[in-house]
Structure 1
């Protein structure tokens, strides 16, 4: 059985919307996108590199997958993250996509995400990592399918935007398995389900 890990940048008030760019996710008239960039440093790069040094497959919701295509699929920047993203097997959970041909090594999981991801998790293979895809994470968390979280907790509040857990989330206990503080005050906390 595979494990599922979710990596998310999050503010102190729980916002996960649009960390990378101002135009990344403007749903709900969100105008504060790009909030995480000023906090990048070598410590964060090193910690993210550790995760990408292990064999693993990626899991996306269709919206994040489409966004990542624009950022990573055609990048020829020598960035090791680009190499990892393009080489990884990418599973895309979607009820609306017809195919996943737009980014090589992508496999479409058609239908309800909880059902298709649970079936994938039960198969032998590499562990699965979700980056972004907050709606998918919420659905999988509610179904008890997320095994680990890596939260990059940024030292700011935004006051608006989509939060990691909106509405109710089931009672779930996690154990802190590691933490690192970057030079810019981001706490990278790793949790495993008890």
Structure 2
């Protein structure tokens, strides 16, 4: 069965967005992009909730910059949007799956052959999949900034989820990647 991991970026005080929905604070540099490229080599499917998909689809199709390999990866990899309301998508290589059958849909995707599946952002979907026991790893990139207010990473979580710290990765920028696995 394929591994599904969720990858989220947060501030030191646990927010994934600032108080006005801003996401202009992540501390991303060339060391981070090198790490991301190494990670991307193991991924063949990106999973998004509707909101996360809409943010990504608004940025990546026309993105340019100093890291074209990341742009190429984001635009070429298979993308799956879990939604009960979205009816059509325009971002290349994207399909919509029924959000009303979340457990069955994700279990079937994990059973398909392939590399790892990554859930980028999409914190509500991450919380739902953690509660269903479908996330194999939770990767949280903690940025060295305190926002003071914003949207908490797990504000939609309804049940406790026990985790074991599996790995930490530190970056020269001050970022720390915490990799957790759900406790069995």
Tell me if both proteins adopt one fold, taking TM over 0.5 as the criterion. Answer: yes
Q: Give 2:20's aligned residue.
A: 30
Query: CA-to-partner distance for each residue in 1:143-180, whole Å, 9 max, x for gaps?
Result: 11111122111122222222111254423222323x22
Name structure 2 gaps, 5 residues minimum. Answer: none
Name structure 1 gaps, 5 residues minimum. Answer: 19-28
Distance in 2 (CA, whole Å) between partners of 1:57 and 1:44 is: 20
More strand, by proportion: 2
- State how many pairs are aligned: 180
- Which of 144, 163, 174 is residue 173 of structure 1 equivalent to? 163
Distance in 2 (CA, whole Å) between partners of 1:40 and 1:133 is: 19
Superposed, 1:154-173 pairs within 5 Å as 154-166=143-155, 167-173=157-163
| Cα RMSD (Å) | 2.0
Distance in 1 (CA, whole Å) between partners of 2:68 and 2:11 is: 26
- Change in 2 beyond 3 A, CA 1:122/1:42: same
- Change in 2 beyond 3 A, CA 1:124/1:151: same
- Which of 118, 137, 140 is residue 107 of structure 2 equivalent to? 118
- Change in 2 beyond 3 A, CA 1:16/1:169: farther
Task: Report the TM-score, using the length of structure 2 for normalisation.
Answer: 0.87
- Change in 2 beyond 3 A, CA 1:130/1:117: same
- Change in 2 beyond 3 A, CA 1:182/1:116: same
Distance in 2 (CA, whole Å) between partners of 1:13 and 1:81 is: 28
Retained in 2: the 8 A contact 1:93–1:117?
A: no
What secondary structure is seen at the aligned counterpart in 2 of 1:104? Answer: coil
Retained in 1: the 8 A contact 2:8–2:140?
A: yes
Tell me how far 1:124 sits from its aligned partner.
2.9
Tell me how far 1:32 sits from its aligned partner.
4.6
